[in-house]
Structure 1
Amino acid sequence: MVSYLLRRALTLLFVLLGLAILIFIIARIVPGDPARIALGPLATSVQVAELREEMGLNASFPVQLWSYLSGLAQGDLGKSLLTSRPVMDDIRGALPATFELVLVTIILQIVVSIPLGVMAAIYRNTWVDNVLRVISLIGVVTPGFVLAIILQLTAAHYLGFLPVTGRLDGGIDFDANITGLLLVDGTLKGRFDVVIDAIRHLFLPAIALSAAGIGQVMRITRTAMIEVASRDFVEATRAYGIPEKIVTFRYMLRVASVAPLTILGLEFASLIGNAFIVEFVFSWPGIASYGVRTILQKDLNAVIGVVLVSGVFFVVANLTIDLLLGLLDPRHRLRAGRES
């Protein structure tokens, strides 16, 4: 199992390297001169030429690629044309906001979708099951950005106690200088007013991001629970007189959780994609919102950095899912052992 995980980690490093090269190539072949875009239409040819030299755009493509990969190995993603700061500093400042939003979204998906999926399986073909299936279908088919706009308009007009932009109210003075996560830093510093206000600001974006995942995982959990319920070991546990709640939540759910857990890992990719729109709608100061601004300004260094960080998120999520599947399903560990 250990050698399997090491091989997986090594493979994922090559995936990130390939992603870095691919996005660099795409960024260099798209139309438009980054130097001209950065300086604006009123810049002189001399100013554009000086900036091209400073950005290294006059060098050959292999030299540009090698220079970029060398800097990347040292944690240098270049300088942002949008903020005139190192891209790594910009990402480091924006990353905690996105990480907190995504983390809350994943927790919300797990806490809501799996219990509702189990409930739908227990009350199969009843009105409870029908209602939950309709709710899951609505969550799956509603695009995240549409739900975000609906929630924002609803909150602005009918729910005055829920904020629709930012991470904190403007009147709250707080520096999240420990982890960058408002919920964690507010708790560590005893600033529970910050924690409460951060939860209020997280509520609407987290719902907009989690709705599709909740609907999908609900359906998968329901199907998996119904399939597991017909297996022989379930009938055997009932024959021993084990209470139905223990049979359902200790034995059936453990086996059935493999499928929804895999879906949660796949949902992580859509979370990152939807976050670009949701953060923009709610003016959330995260890496996705930063990425949208850099794309609009064709800030190539920043765009590459944002894509790489998104790739790291996805890679880490998949590796985590592999670990959890090994813990929940012995067959996964056996397959990993044979492969190693």
Structure 2
Amino acid sequence: MVVYLLRRLAQAAFVVAGVVVLTFVVMRLVPGDPAVTYAGPRASPEELARTRAELGLDSPLLIQLWDYLTSLVRGDWGISLHTRQEVVGDISTAFPASLELVGAGILIAVVAGIPLGVLAARYKSGPADGSIRIGSMLGVSVPVFLLALFAQNLFATQLGWLPVAGEYDPGLDRTSPLSLYTNITAVDALLTGNWPILGSTLAHLVLPALAIAAYPTGVVAQMTRAALIEESTQNHARLERALGFTRWQVLTRFSLRPALSPVLALLALVFAFSLVNAFLVEAIFNWPGLGRYAADAIRSSDAPAIAGVTIAIAFTYVVLNLLVDIAQAAIDPRVRIR
């Protein structure tokens, strides 16, 4: 197990380093002069030269790459050309809201997708299986922004069941101010017992989280179904049926655990995909997450901020993939020998 973990850690470090180098190269290839963006179009040549020196743009490319790598290790991700604040500070403020939204969507996907996959496998080729497969394909194929707009228009605008946009009722900042510890509003409200903000946050979270959950729910359901059907053809399943266990017992007691291994492997990739999809949902529901920050950075050609967002997403994916590998090894010891 220790050798397996060390091998996975080395692979994760290699992937992160590759993403950082690629991001640096792309950042330097983007048209435009960061010094002009930072100092302003009316800056004098002397001011531009001083700004390039401050940003390290007057050094050879390899020196810039080395300085960039060492700065990242120290926690210095540069200065945003748009906000004039440290990029790592901006991301640490915006990222928790995106994690809250995507985490809620993935939780819905796991809670709904796995039982749906089990049900589809149990009644393979039946009406329930067909309905679940059609629903899964719709969830995967319909664009997330279309689902978000539909949900907002129906449940918020027309029916008035849920809030239209925002993270929580802004009026609660005056009547029930929230103490921040993790910058994840629902978690902080729960930790501090701020029930008004917790209730408002959960109400505001429902529609965007459901829009985010559509794609991963379809993927998890389909993957669970396929994995269970494959497990049902194995020798152990035939032996369990011969011992008198029902088909439902074989699926849930003996086949589900090994079938979850590929589902867990998929979750890290689905989480990263959903994190990018969340940018559109955040714009529609005015959710104060990383999507708004990334959109502002792209509009202002803010290369350090764009690079910071890219690295943050890549790092999140690598960490989640590493955790999934560990969970797979715990569930199925066969994984450790790959």
Does TM, scored on the shorter chain, surpass 0.5?
yes
Superposition deviation, residue 70 in structure 1: 2.0
- What residue is the counterpart of 2:258 in the other structure? 255
Distance 2:63 2:333 in 1: 49
Superposition deviation, residue 46 in structure 1: 4.7
Q: Residues 157 and 226 of structure 1: is their aligned pair in 2 closer, same or farther, counting only changes over 3 Å?
A: same
User: Counterparts of 1:173-322 in structure 2 under 5 Å?
Assistant: 173=173, 174-242=177-245, 245-322=248-325
SS in 1 for 2:172: coil
User: Counterparts of 1:67-78 in structure 2 under 5 Å?
Assistant: 67-78=67-78
Superposition deviation, residue 155 in structure 1: 3.3
Could you state the TM-score of these two structures normalised by the residue count of structure 1? 0.91
Q: Is the 8 A contact 1:205 1:278 kept in 2?
A: yes
CA deviations 1:122-164 (Å, max 9, x no partner) are: 1222222221111111001112222222222223422323223
Superposition deviation, residue 91 in structure 1: 1.0
Superposition deviation, residue 117 in structure 1: 0.9
Distance 1:286 1:93 in 2: 8
Give the aligned residue type for 2:286. S
Q: Is the 8 A contact 2:94 2:289 kept in 1?
A: yes
SS in 2 for 1:100: helix
Mean alpha-carbon deviation: is it higher for 60-69 or for 76-85? Answer: 60-69
Give the aligned residue type for 1:263. L
Runs of 4+ in 1 over 4 A off after TM superposition: 39-47
Give the aligned residue type for 1:287. L
Superposition deviation, residue 199 in structure 1: 1.2
CA deviations 1:94-136 (Å, max 9, x no partner) are: 1211121122122111101010111111122222222111111
Answering whether residue 325 of structure 2 is matched by residue 326 of structure 1, we say no
Superposition deviation, residue 44 in structure 1: 4.6
Superposition deviation, residue 261 in structure 1: 2.0
SS in 2 for 1:257: helix
Distance 1:159 1:37 in 2: 45
Mean alpha-carbon deviation: is it higher for 7-16 or for 69-78? Answer: 7-16
Give the aligned residue type for 1:86. E
- What residue is the counterpart of 1:36 in the other structure? 36
CA deviations 1:169-194 (Å, max 9, x no partner) are: 11112334122222222112112222
Distance 1:307 1:159 in 2: 38
- What residue is the counterpart of 2:146 in the other structure? 146
Superposition deviation, residue 39 in structure 1: 4.6
Distance 1:161 1:195 in 2: 17
Could you state the TM-score of these two structures normalised by the residue count of structure 2? 0.92
- What residue is the counterpart of 2:95 in the other structure? 95
Structure 2's unaligned 5+ residue stretches are: none
Superposition deviation, residue 69 in structure 1: 1.7
Superposition deviation, residue 315 in structure 1: 0.2
Distance 1:6 1:279 in 2: 37
Give the aligned residue type for 1:123. Y
Cα root mean square deviation, aligned: 1.9
Superposition deviation, residue 294 in structure 1: 0.8
Mean alpha-carbon deviation: is it higher for 236-245 or for 181-190? Answer: 236-245
Give the aligned residue type for 2:34. P
Superposition deviation, residue 26 in structure 1: 0.8
Distance 2:45 2:155 in 1: 50
Superposition deviation, residue 61 in structure 1: 1.9
Distance 1:325 1:261 in 2: 7
Distance 2:54 2:4 in 1: 44
- What residue is the counterpart of 1:135 in the other structure? 135
Distance 2:41 2:284 in 1: 29
Distance 2:181 2:72 in 1: 26
Give the aligned residue type for 1:188. L
Superposition deviation, residue 166 in structure 1: 2.0
Mean alpha-carbon deviation: is it higher for 31-40 or for 213-222? Answer: 31-40
Give the aligned residue type for 1:172. L
SS in 1 for 2:257: helix
Q: Is the 8 A contact 1:176 1:182 kept in 2?
A: no
Superposition deviation, residue 270 in structure 1: 1.1
- What residue is the counterpart of 2:108 in the other structure? 108
CA deviations 1:305-340 (Å, max 9, x no partner) are: 11111111110111111111112222112x15xxxx
Give the aligned residue type for 1:71. S
Mean alpha-carbon deviation: is it higher for 242-251 or for 259-268? Answer: 242-251
- What residue is the counterpart of 2:117 in the other structure? 117
Q: Is the 8 A contact 2:283 2:292 kept in 1?
A: yes
Distance 1:216 1:121 in 2: 14
Q: Residues 232 and 60 of structure 1: is their aligned pair in 2 closer, same or farther, counting only changes over 3 Å?
A: closer
Superposition deviation, residue 297 in structure 1: 1.0
How many matched pairs?
335
